Amino acid sequence: MTIKLVAIDVDDTLLNSQGEILNSTKQVIKQALQQGIKVVICSGRPWAGIKIFLQELAIQGLEQYVITFNGGTIATASGKILAQNGITKATYQQIDDYSKQNHLAYNVLDNQSIIYTSNHDVNRITVLQAFENQAGIKIRTPQELSDNVDLIKGAFVGDKMQLDKQEAQVKAQFGQDNYIVRAADNFLEIMHPDVSKGAALRMLAAKLQLSDQEVLAIGDEKNDLAMFDFAGVAVAMGNGSDFVKRQADYVTLTNDEAGIAQAFKKYVLEK
């Protein structure tokens, strides 16, 4: 069946190791858009953190879509929210309590791209996250947070070894009532139980009246596996983790070697 929608992860997939979009990627996405194919950026970042890439790729308007916050929000490319599922203030409190008990840095992110944490010594990962997503940082305990703030997700942050040691315990403590995913080496994320990139992709495909066989997903990390489970074709980047590669239908070149272009030429573009 013809591919009519391509879902693409951002970090280490759409972007190369220098955080840039390859010219080969721009060319194949332009061709796909001209052929009427939906190209959907699917990222753990908020909309503000991918806006610059949407502009660079000319993905725009009310008929193109993005999935942000690892599936927490589905929006048009112009930023109009179509669906959103977030975490509660009570979950923020639980994250804050765990952070204090286990000496593990964290932050939570709202739908306005504001990062909140009670960590006065703000972790460098949180600072980098704010910079990459054009987000502000506010030091707020759960009790100090306004009731009208819509929190979308939380994340424990730190170096790889630190999160490796904590991952099983976090999943045991939070996993029954939340979706927990290791989005990258430095992020262990906590979200609404109904949220994932795959759930959002399924919802968007239904809105567009597309079957799973008409959807192709490209990614590199564990938070992309839910997309792989839904999509008719799952493509792992050559730089992706070995675990993710084993779940894919096809392993393309790396993000520095025109991996997206190779996948588009193989499965998407008209010959």
Query: Both 202 and 185 in a single domain?
Result: no
pTM of the model: 0.91
Q: Using only the alpha carbons of the chain, give its radius of gyration.
A: 18
Residue 140 sits at the vertex; the CA angle it makes with 131 and 190, to the nearest 5 degrees, is 70
**Cα 195 to Cα 189: distance, rounded to the nearest angstrom:** 11
Q: Describe the strand order of the beta sheet including 114-117 as a list of residue ranges.
A: 136-139, 114-117, 106-110, 151-157, 187-191, 179-184
Query: Both 209 and 162 in a single domain?
Result: no
Tokens of 34: 């001209």
Tokens of 255: 């993000």
Query: Both 177 and 214 in a single domain?
Result: no
Query: Both 169 and 211 in a single domain?
Result: no
CA separation, residue 271 to residues 31, 35, 56, 204, 219 (Å): 12, 12, 25, 27, 24
Close Cβ partners of 119 (under 8 Å, ≥ 6 residues apart): 99, 105, 106, 107, 126, 139
Choosing from 158, 191, 224, the residue where a domain stops is 191
The CATH number of the domain where 255 resides is what?
A: 3.40.50.1000
Counting the structural domains of the chain, the total is: 2
What is the domain extent for residue 254? 5-84+195-267
Q: What is the pLDDT along the chain (271 residues), one digit of tens a residue?
A: 799 999 999 999 999 999 999 999 999 999 999 999 999 999 999 988 999 999 999 999 999 999 999 999 999 999 899 999 999 999 999 999 999 999 999 999 998 889 999 999 999 999 999 998 888 999 999 999 988 899 999 999 999 999 999 999 999 999 999 999 998 899 999 999 999 999 999 999 999 999 999 999 999 999 999 999 999 999 999 999 999 999 999 999 999 999 999 999 999 997 6
Amino acid at site 107 = N
Name the phi and psi angles at 18, rounded to 5. Answer: -100, 5
